[in-house]
A and B are shown apart, each in its own frame.
Chain A
Amino acid sequence: MVSTSVRSLTYAQAVNEAFHQEFERDPSIILMGEDIAGGAGRSEFEDAWGGVFKLTGGLIGKFGPDRVRDTPISENGFIGAAVGAAATGLRPIADLMFVGFVGVCGDQIFNNMSKMHYMFGGKVKLPLTVITSTGAGVGSAAQHSETLYSIFVHFPGLKCVAPSNPYNAKGLHAAAIRDDDPVIVFNNKQLMGGVGGGIHVPEDSYEFPIGKADRPKEGTDVTLIGISYTTYQCLKAAEILEQKGFSAEVIDLLSLSPLDEDAILSSVKKTRNVVIVDEDYPKCSMASELSAIIAEQAFDFLDSPPIRLSAPHASVPYSPVLEAEYIPSPEKIAQAALSILE
């Protein structure tokens, strides 16, 4: 990448660009959710919000209220409508504002979205994308700060991706929308708020393949596996380790289901040490799954046991001091790596 050609976008701008390009490309794409335009049905306030995280701004002005639908506060209703719309030929995107709201639409996601293709013997396709926000760090307390992708990954029939920067966010949203299966895109709030933004994002439309991890930093001493925001934390931890003379490789998971086992295992077999960094609750989590896979399939290559660095098995605190302690920090990641390396 030549520095003069840098086209710097924030995460939210990159996703918004993907939506605009996909909407132009395919007239069967529609978008539903709470405040995705904003205006509560009053045309004078149209596009007042563009989504809580500004991912969907400008769409209603360009593509109209037939394709961009502000919905009532009923996740069960509009997610269910999206499942039905997908089954009957549209390509809907549904915005589940906070991932913790899965409790009020779990039936549509776990019982209909994930199983319809199977239950109808492959005769029904659900080309549906659900976008949702995850993560702590913005003072949203226990019910609006969860990560929870692990429980979606648990279900067969759902593809799950978690972008980590504006570049892969644009490419993964395009890939999710074009995919003929249900895909859930987990967007971290801190990344949407601008953290890790300002990198080059090509203007042309592109896809980032679902099922592939990325390797944003090569190294030889230890593999740090990050997911979404924790990839950003891992890259910072790699800098700390560099200063201490250790070379960390960072694997950016990106796709949680399906999982790019090859990328994970080949990195771990090279470095022989691994620290898995995950902001989700620790039990029965992505971190557990990764640790188990590595132990089971790369046992003889490991010089040390896999280390998981997750949020604690506790609800997300409202207190900013405790919340800062809650998310795995670069210092803690570096410390965990050093506990193996030194």
Chain B
Amino acid sequence: MTNLDAELHGLAPFIELPPEPELAPAVRARIGARRPRPGRLVLALALVLLAVAVTFAVPPARSAILRWLGIGNARVEFVDRLPDVRTRRPLDLGVHTSLATARKSVRYHILTSKLLGKPKDVRLRFDQVAFVYGDHKLVVLQSEGTFFTKEVDPRTNVDRFRLNGADAVWISGPRHIFGYVAGPGGDHASELYLVGNALIWQRGPLTLRLEGKVSRAEAVRIARSFR
């Protein structure tokens, strides 16, 4: 241990800290008697059942059958009525950064696309890296541990297919909402945005999402280029 190490350790007891609040009663009141979501085994079983449901679902009855669909860290939730989001706002993609800094900040290998080349902007939010191309006309996001939701109503087209040997979902149609789930934690209900077409796919441990005014074929071509 160097002198500076020792001095910093020695400084700790002198640091002024605010008094610690008692959090347990408030937390207990908020969680109530609700049980955390189902365990992994139940979840895996539910996913299998949902996959079967997707395969056999008749489009008009789809919203009545499906409750949600999991793709990596994404969760597509089928709802009868979308939350009241009237305005289309730009997504909060996080802080501006560079690819080099982003690489130092996340635990995973960041995928890039030779097809799209260098992004106009790189953003970082939790462990989610976003590449922005051409004045926000196309955004590609990737993360290992940032969970997010997509809420769709029965008029939205949701097509599940295989891409690079893994599950993928193409979402298109007039009504479709994006809502964040931060890091490994729970929902951020306040962050809801109306968005356009989107492709969600997996590559290794990563979940990637593409949003923009592109066709499904273009989106798939772009997705395949991310390595």
Same assembly: no
Residues of B participating in the A interface, judged by any CB pair closer than 8 Å = none
